[in-house]
Amino acid sequence: MAEIRRPDDMVRITTPELADAFIEEQVNIAREQIGDKKVLLALSGGVDSSVVAALLIKAVGKQLVCVHVNHGLLRKGEPEQVIEVFGKQLDANLIYVDAVDRFLDKLEGVDDPEEKRHIIGEEFIDVFADEARKLEGVDFLAQGTIWPDILESEDGIKAHHNAGGLPEDIAERFELVEPVRILFKDEVRVVGKQLGLPDNMVYRQPFPGPGLGVRCPGAITRDRLEAVRESDAILREEFEKAGLAGKVWQYFTVVPDFKSTGITDGKRTFDWPCIIRAINTTDVMQVSVEHLEPELIDRLAMRITTEVEGINRVLYDFTPKPPATVEYE
Ligand code: XMP
C-alpha cells in the first residue's frame, strides 16, 4: 500500500462538512483498494476501530468482517453495545468471540503486572489469528491506526506493529487498510459522529488495551474483577449524571487485593476497598487530580459499598503523575 502522509497544510477536520468530505474521499479510496475482496477488522468498540468499522461498512458493506473479542476485561455493557450498534443497527458482518474463559484461565494466579500485560496481548493476537485462519478469501486487514501512532513509532516511543503484531503466516496474507491514518483523535471523533455512531462510543474516555485487568492488581480473580466492573459502571453513571463525563479526561475504579474490616447491619465484614481515580491531562505525561464535590464522593461511597458485592470501603486517590502513573499496573 502506498505510504499515506498527512499533508503539512491539511485542514483540521473540525466540522460536519469537512468530516463528510473526508468520509466520501476515504469511502472511494477503500472501494478502489478492496474491490470485491473481503477485509478483516479487530473491532474492540474503542473510538478508532469503531470509526474504521463504520467507514468501511459504508464503503464495502458485508465485505467487511468484524471480529469482536470479548476477553472478559471489558467494561460493563461494552460487548453488548458492539453487538447492538454493529451487529444490529449497522447490520455488519460481525463475529463475536467469547474468549472470557480462555483469558481468565491463562491469567489465573499470575500476579506480575508485566506478565499479565504480556499474556493479555499475546492471547489477543492468538484468538484473532485463530479467527483469521478460519476465514477464506480475506485479502485485507483494516486497522484503526491514527496519526499520533505513526508519529510515536517514528520517534521510537512506541513500536507500531504492522498488522497488529500478528504471526507472519497471517500477516503476510494481508494488505493493510488504514482509513483514519492521517487523523488526530479529535478528528476521528468528528468523523465518527458524522457516521452516526452513538456519543458514548465517539466521546469515550481512553481505555487501556489490557482493560480492567490492570485495575484488578495482582492475580485476577473473577469475583474481584466483577467488583471492578460493577464499581466502574456506577462511577460512570454518577459522572454522567453530574455532567462530568465529557469534562474529566479519565475516571475509573481499582479494587486492590487486600481486605479490611467493616460493619454492615451490626455484623463484621472483611472485604476489599474500592479506589476511585479521576484525572485530567493534556499530554498524559503530567496528570492532575480532579477534585470531586463532597456530595458526589458521599454518593459514590454509599452506592459502591451497598451495590457492589465484596466492597466495604471507598478510597479516593489524590496522587498526580508523577510520581504515580494513571493506571495501577
Ligand atoms: P499510565 O498508567 O502509563 O497511563 O500513566 C497513561 C495513559 O495510557 C493509558 N494506558 C494504555 N493505553 N494500552 C493503551 O492503549 C495500554 O496498555 C495502556 N496502559 C495505559 C492509560 O489508561 C492512560 O490514559
Q: Buried b / exposed e across 298-327, counting CB within 10 Å, b at 16+?
A: ebbbebbbeebebbbbbeeeeeebeeeebb
Counting the structural domains of the chain, the total is 2
Mean pLDDT computed over 127-139: 94
- Residues near 15 by beta carbon (within 8 Å), at least 6 away in sequence: 190
- For the whole model, what pTM was predicted? 0.93
Using a 6 Å cutoff on CB, does residue 324 contact ligand 1?
no
The verdict on 135 and 41 lying in the same domain is yes
Render 13-43 in DSSP notation, one character per residue. Answer: --SHHHHHHHHHHHHHHHHHHHTTSEEEEE-
Mean pLDDT computed over 17-34: 98
Nine-digit cell at 309?
458485592
The verdict on 182 and 228 lying in the same domain is no
Report which ligand 1 atom has the smallest distance to the Cα of 327.
2
Report which ligand 1 atom has the smallest distance to the Cα of 117.
17
Per-residue model confidence (pLDDT) at position 223: 98
The verdict on 53 and 110 lying in the same domain is yes
Per-residue model confidence (pLDDT) at position 165: 77
Cα of 4 vs centre of ligand 1, distance in Å, is 27
Using a 6 Å cutoff on CB, does residue 246 contact ligand 1?
no
Render 76-139 in DSSP notation, one character per residue. Answer: TTHHHHHIIIIIIIS--EEEEEE-HHHHHHHHTT---HHHHHHHHHHHHHHHHHHHHHH-SSEE
Cα of 208 vs centre of ligand 1, distance in Å, is 5
Q: Whose Cα sits closest to atom 9 in ligand 1?
A: 208
The verdict on 139 and 247 lying in the same domain is no
Q: Quick check: is 273 in a domain? A: yes
The verdict on 151 and 294 lying in the same domain is no
Per-residue model confidence (pLDDT) at position 151: 84
Q: Quick check: is 1 in a domain? A: no
Q: Quick check: is 33 in a domain? A: yes
At 209-259, the pLDDT tens digits run 999 999 999 999 999 999 999 999 999 999 999 999 989 999 999 999 999
Using a 6 Å cutoff on CB, does residue 209 contact ligand 1?
yes
Per-residue model confidence (pLDDT) at position 161: 46
Q: Quick check: is 210 in a domain? A: no
Closest by alpha carbon to 234, among 77, 45, 44, 73? 77
Averaged confidence pLDDT in the chain: 94
Per-residue model confidence (pLDDT) at position 193: 98
Closest by alpha carbon to 289, among 258, 257, 326? 326
Q: Whose Cα sits closest to atom 21 in ligand 1?
A: 208
Domain of 149, CATH number, reads: 3.40.50.620
Using a 6 Å cutoff on CB, does residue 250 contact ligand 1?
yes
- Between CA 113 and CA 115 the distance in angstroms is 5
Domain end, chosen from 202, 229, 247, is at 202
Report which ligand 1 atom has the smallest distance to the Cα of 214.
19
The verdict on 58 and 31 lying in the same domain is yes
Mutate to test the pocket of ligand 1, among 207, 326, 328, 329 (most ligand atoms within 8 A of CB): 326
The verdict on 168 and 50 lying in the same domain is yes
At 141-200, the pLDDT tens digits run 999 999 988 887 777 655 554 556 788 888 888 999 999 999 999 999 999 999 999 999
At 65-115, the pLDDT tens digits run 999 999 999 999 999 999 999 999 999 999 999 999 999 999 999 999 999
Per-residue model confidence (pLDDT) at position 4: 60
The verdict on 127 and 161 lying in the same domain is yes
Q: Quick check: is 101 in a domain? A: yes
What domain range is 269 assigned to? 221-316
The verdict on 26 and 135 lying in the same domain is yes
